């Protein structure tokens, strides 16, 4: 199981990775505690994370978006 990680940037922004359904579910649990279950923020997080759930990794262990 891949460890959930996030990075707090010098600007105060948070950088998170996306992954499969299991990884994203665990990431949402962490973020919901950080954002005190703010529904608008969590809806944005959910939209961002769900973009990777249907992706198939051919090589490597990270999903990149651009």
Pinpoint the alpha helices (H) of 1-66: 21-34, 39-50
Residue 25: inside a domain:
yes
pLDDT band at 66 (very low <50, low <70, confident <90, very high): very low
Residue 12: inside a domain:
no
CA 29, CA 16: separation in Å to the nearest integer? 13
2, pLDDT greater than 70: yes
Q: Domain containing 32: what range?
A: 18-54
Residue 23: inside a domain:
yes
> What residue has token string 């998170």?
16
pLDDT (tens digit per residue) in 9-63: 999 998 888 888 898 999 999 999 999 979 999 999 998 888 777 766 556 666 5
Model pTM score: 0.72
Q: Any residues with CB less than 8 A from the CB of 20 and at least 6 apart, and which?
A: 52, 53
Residue 30: inside a domain:
yes
Per the CB < 8 A criterion, the answer to whether 33 and 45 are in contact is no
Domain count, the chain: 1
């Amino acid at each position: 199981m891949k460890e959930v990680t996030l990075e707090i940037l010098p600007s105060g922004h948070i950088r998170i990775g996306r992954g499969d359904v299991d990884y994203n579910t665990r990431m949402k649990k962490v973020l919901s505690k950080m954002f005190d279950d703010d529904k608008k923020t969590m809806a944005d997080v959910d939209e961002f994370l769900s973009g990777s759930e249907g992706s198939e990794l051919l090589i490597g262990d990270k999903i990149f978006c651009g």
